[in-house]
Amino acid sequence: MTAASSVDRLATVQSDLERQRIRTRWSLVAPAMIVIGIFGIVPLLIILVYSFLVAGGYGGVEWKFTTDAYVSFLFDRDIFDGTFKFVPDYLEIFWRSIWLALLTTIVCLVLGFPTAYFMATRPPSQRNYWVFLITLPFWTNLLIRTYAIMLIIRDEGLVNDAMRGIGLIDKPVHLLYTNFAIILGLLYSFLPFMVLPLYSSLEKLDFRLVEAGFDLYATRRKVLWRIIIPLAKPGIIAGCLLVFIPALGAYITPLILGGGSELMIGNLIALQFGTSRNWPFGSAQALILMAAVMLALIVYVRSSTERGRTAHG
Amino acid sequence: MAEQTITRPLTVDTVKRPRDPARQALDLKRQPGFGTVAMLCLAMLYAPIVILVVFSFNTSPSVTRWENFSLQWFFKVAANRDIHDAAFNSLQISIVATVVSTIIATAAALATTRTRPWPGQTAAYMVINLPLIVPEIITAVATLSFFALLASTAKINLGIGNLILAHSVFCIPFAYMPIRARLEDMDLTLEQAAADLYATPWQTFRRVTLPLLTPGVSSGAALAFIVSIDDFTITQMVAGPGQTTLPLYIWGQLHKTGVTPEVNAISTILLVVSILFVTLSFLIGRKRK
């Protein structure tokens, strides 16, 4: 036996082991891939196909190809002469949803940053409890939490009762079924999504840099704006994304607090699959929403890889 | 308090300048007003829940004017046949979905941790987390379309099985997260020792890995269970007639009769279940440290 042939043999054994290792890994993830593939990915492909079909009379679809679903998102076809007229109604709901989600994200950031900073500067033994307290509401039922908000802000609710009690107002102020109610509900639902990534990036903050700032006669304000906030940027971006995406696709919050008159994309989609019985149109709207989410994710990935590059360069 | 966490010996000023006691007394980390905002956020997160729970113990049928303490709404809930049926449906769906998703997530976590990267690992990771990225309303209408297509073309209708399958899918990433976290904290030495002692891979898994992994698995199962029992959006879209779960029942009541203390009472029960399970999951996860 020469040395060379035993090296060869070793190499074959190693590549066999490697192949076996990959096979074991794949067989372990296979159930997850199959279940999510069939019941998670295939349905998405189905609505992609549905969005190019004709609506059935009683829900469902007819198997005829058309791009009507996408066209009717922007235009209304005149039944008599077949001309298209621009209809901004659906676009307006999309635009409003984006605007509401953005506003929610900004308010979440303004409230979430101080909270996360405060948590990160507690003694280590207390931090875990803070994280637990902030996370706990997220795990409770969203429908119930939104209902609780409704109890407080409706005309006969606690806020109006209290304001009437101290003589601030004599007629109830309509808070429910307004944009304010939706933003409050979204803020309340998604605040933990902002606080947690901010906390995890602030917790790793090197406070020697803060000290150096003070040594160079920076004020507390300046240290915050010039040192702490720039260092927390990854957390800020992640938090904003984690709030913006679910807020954009919100369904329960506008359903309960918007009261059917103040719609968001989520409700519009549900409506097409419910009373409107226009599944292709609903599918098209769902895909447009999905595209918006993907766009936000791409922007995020871009910005995080760019950061990685500048950090190395 | 803050002095402990600042790494004093490494700072520039301790080397170059003599220590100034007045300077040391200053808390470098403090930002005025931040504590107040934190307390405000905490109050905002909990006040609505607390108010809802308090008014489920109210005597009067008003949900915002307090009269006296009573358990009557809970007795009403306990005697309501519709709620029994909804609770039974909810439990049936959640328990099966929890078991299915936890087993699948455990296998997936074993494959994606403690290993050199293997071809397809990133793709696998992305698929597992897909249910978290897609907005719930999209998953809801897509799943509805899927089962409708299945019913119309292949004449397959699994009844409540539809809901169980839909729930199992979105529970997988929630069960996966704590199991993966636990696995990443375990090193391979014990498994290697078992292999040295001629244990078969299955024996090693059954007698070494699984017992060590139990806290992660139970914590993942707890999260999967509450995510499933609390789900509204997907359930509402996919549920057929007679498949009312507790959140669907609550929504039905809100829609039909408006705000009643009975709704508060069921909500309180569901909140307590969720809080119990999350706390359990948190405590199990913490013990190892």
Residues of chain A with Cβ-Cβ distance to B234 below 8 Å are: none
Give the residue among B271, B5, B238 at the shortest CA–CA distance from A207.
B5
pLDDT band (50, 70, 90) for residue B5: very low
DSSP string, A263-303: --HHHHHHHHHTTT--HHHHHHHHHHHHHHHHHHHHHHHHH
Reply yes or no on whether the pLDDT at A108 is more than 80.
yes
Residue B226, pLDDT score: 92
With b meaning 16 or more CB within 10 Å and e meaning fewer, what string describes A285-313?
bbbbbbebbeeeeeebeeeeeeeeeeeee
Q: Do B110 and A26 touch (CB under 8 A)?
A: no
Reply yes or no on whether the pLDDT at B16 is more than 50.
no
Query: Is B99 within 8 Å of chain A by CB?
Result: no
For chain B, give percent helix, strand, coil, nearest 5. Answer: 75, 0, 25
Domain residue ranges of chain A, discontinuous segments joined by +: 89-312
Q: Do A140 and B271 touch (CB under 8 A)?
A: yes
Q: What is the mean pLDDT of residues B47-66?
A: 84
User: Which single residue is written with the structure tokens 């569901």?
Assistant: B270
Residues of chain B with Cβ-Cβ distance to A188 below 8 Å are: 44-45, 48
Q: What is the mean pLDDT of residues A94-121?
A: 95
Model confidence over A8-46: pLDDT tens digits?
888 888 888 888 888 888 899 999 999 999 999 999 999
Mutation target for B interface from A147, A220, A223, A279: give the one with most B CBs within 10 A: A147
Residues of chain A with Cβ-Cβ distance to B41 below 8 Å are: 111-112, 115, 134, 191, 195
Model confidence over B78-90: pLDDT tens digits?
899 999 999 999 9
Residue of A22, A114, A139 with shortest CB distance to B274: A139
Q: Do A151 and B137 touch (CB under 8 A)?
A: no
User: Which single residue is written with the structure tokens 């489920």?
Assistant: B56
Q: d(Cα B74, Cα B96) in Å, to the nearest integer? A: 27
Query: Is B19 within 8 Å of chain A by CB?
Result: no
Give the residue among A184, A278, A262 at the shortest CA–CA distance from A270.
A278
Query: Is B222 within 8 Å of chain A by CB?
Result: no
Domain residue ranges of chain B, discontinuous segments joined by +: 73-287
Query: Is B35 within 8 Å of chain A by CB?
Result: yes
Q: What angle do CA B192, B193, B198 make, to 5 degrees?
A: 95
pLDDT band (50, 70, 90) for residue A310: low
Q: How far away is chain B from the Cα of A194, in angstroms, using its nearest Cα?
A: 12
A57-66, A114-123, B10-19, B273-282: which is most confident: A114-123
Q: Do A142 and B232 touch (CB under 8 A)?
A: yes
User: Which single residue is written with the structure tokens 């200053």?
Assistant: B26
Q: Do A123 and B4 touch (CB under 8 A)?
A: yes
Q: Per mean pLDDT, which range of A70-84, A125-139, B69-83, B89-103 is the poorest?
A: A70-84
Reply yes or no on whether the pLDDT at A262 is more than 60.
yes
Model confidence over A250-259: pLDDT tens digits?
999 999 998 8
Residue A261, pLDDT score: 76
Query: Is B138 within 8 Å of chain A by CB?
Result: yes
Whether the Cβ atoms of residue B228 and residue B186 lie closer than 8 Å to each other: no
Q: Per mean pLDDT, which range of A131-135, A306-310, B245-249 is the poorest?
A: A306-310
Query: Is B193 within 8 Å of chain A by CB?
Result: no
Reply yes or no on whether the pLDDT at B6 is more than 90.
no
Which superfamily does A89-312 belong to?
Answer: MetI-like (1.10.3720.10)
Q: Per mean pLDDT, which range of A87-96, A97-106, B245-254 is the poorest?
A: A87-96
Q: What is the largest CA-CA distance in chain A?
A: 101
| Percent residues over pLDDT 90 in chain A | 45
Helix (H) or strand (E) holding A85: strand A84-86
Residue of A26, A43, A141 with shortest CB distance to B120: A26
What count of other Cβ atoms lies within 10 Å of the Cβ of residue A118?
Answer: 25
Q: Do A141 and B271 touch (CB under 8 A)?
A: yes
**CA nearest to A139 within chain B:** B274
Residues of chain A with Cβ-Cβ distance to B48 below 8 Å are: 145, 148-149, 151-152, 188
Residue of B31, B44, B270 with shortest CB distance to A144: B270
Q: What is the mean pLDDT of residues B260-281?
A: 90
What is the interface size between A and B, counted as CB pairs within 8 Å? 272
| Domain B73-287 class in CATH | mainly alpha
Q: Do A42 and B169 touch (CB under 8 A)?
A: no
Average pLDDT along chain A: 88
Model confidence over B68-127: pLDDT tens digits?
888 888 998 889 999 999 999 999 999 999 999 999 999 999 999 888 888 888 889 899
Q: How far away is chain A from the Cα of B125, in angstroms, using its nearest Cα?
A: 9
Query: Is B195 within 8 Å of chain A by CB?
Result: no
Whether the Cβ atoms of residue B131 and residue A40 lie closer than 8 Å to each other: yes
Residue A34, pLDDT score: 95
User: Which single residue is written with the structure tokens 């020697």?
Assistant: A208
Q: What is the mean pLDDT of residues B252-258?
A: 85
Residue of B100, B267, B279 with shortest CB distance to A144: B267
Q: What is the mean pLDDT of residues A96-118?
A: 95
Reply yes or no on whether the pLDDT at B214 is more than 60.
yes
Residue B271, pLDDT score: 92
Reply yes or no on whether the pLDDT at B238 is more than 90.
yes
User: Taking the model in full, what pTM does it have?
Assistant: 0.86
Residue B246, pLDDT score: 94
User: Which single residue is written with the structure tokens 């875990």?
Assistant: A128
Residue B11, pLDDT score: 45
Residue A162, pLDDT score: 82
Residues of chain A with Cβ-Cβ distance to B271 below 8 Å are: 140-141, 144
Q: Do B52 and A144 touch (CB under 8 A)?
A: yes
Q: d(Cα A165, Cα A162) in Å, to the nearest integer? A: 5
